[in-house]
């Protein structure tokens, strides 16, 4: 489509500057380098803004190349995982933060109950919080709670049992 400065492969009516249409189910396009790494470089005018690079025996990368830029991954047209330009990770949030005055390395945000689970072939560690933030469980092994903290609406905390407003308070 020379009138619109568009190139089409597999289509006579390209919808963008470069449009590839294929009925191929395995590979729509192949990128081969005979010198090691295979790169796709993304530019805005003459400014490098991103790069996709895969190589055998070394670190492969998908990176942004501009300051103050985050990288987002997602599914179903929803961005879910964010890597910020200061190397923090947000899952469900694009700006990892904490109410404790520091920026966390990892910030999980989700509507509803949330759990952070570390699991390998022999051990399991769980950190769980229910939807209304009234219960916090820390467990290990086969779902055995190590610590179960539950708070009521008055801010009274029960350790291992439901809180009772009549409990004595302790100060350290």
pLDDT exceeds 80 at position 163? no
The 10 Å CB-count burial string (b at 16+, else e) for 142-161 is eeeeeeebbbeeeeeeeeee
CA–CA separation, 141 and 32 (whole Å): 47
What is the pLDDT, as a whole number, of residue 46? 84
Quick one: tokens of 131? 């939807």
What average pLDDT does this structure show over 135-140? 64
Q: Tell whether the model's pLDDT for residue 172 goes beyond 50.
A: no
Please provide the average confidence, as pLDDT, over all residues in the chain.
75
């Amino acid at each position: 489509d020379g009138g619109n400065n568009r190139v089409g492969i597999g289509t006579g009516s390209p919808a963008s500057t470069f449009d590839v249409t294929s009925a191929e189910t395995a590979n729509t396009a192949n990128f081969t380098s005979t010198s090691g790494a295979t790169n796709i470089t993304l530019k805005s005018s003459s400014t490098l803004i991103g790069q996709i690079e895969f190589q055998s025996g070394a670190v492969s990368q998908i990176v942004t190349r501009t300051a103050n830029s985050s990288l987002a991954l997602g599914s179903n047209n929803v961005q879910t995982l964010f890597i910020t330009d200061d190397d923090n990770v947000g899952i469900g949030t694009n700006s990892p933060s904490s109410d404790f005055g520091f920026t966390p390395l990892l910030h999980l945000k989700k509507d509803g109950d949330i759990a952070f689970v570390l699991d390998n072939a022999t051990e399991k560690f769980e950190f769980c919080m229910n939807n209304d933030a009234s219960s916090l469980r820390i467990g290990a092994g086969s779902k055995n709670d190590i610590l179960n903290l539950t708070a009521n609406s008055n801010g009274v905390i029960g350790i291992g049992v439901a809180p009772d407003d009549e409990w004595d308070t302790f100060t350290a």
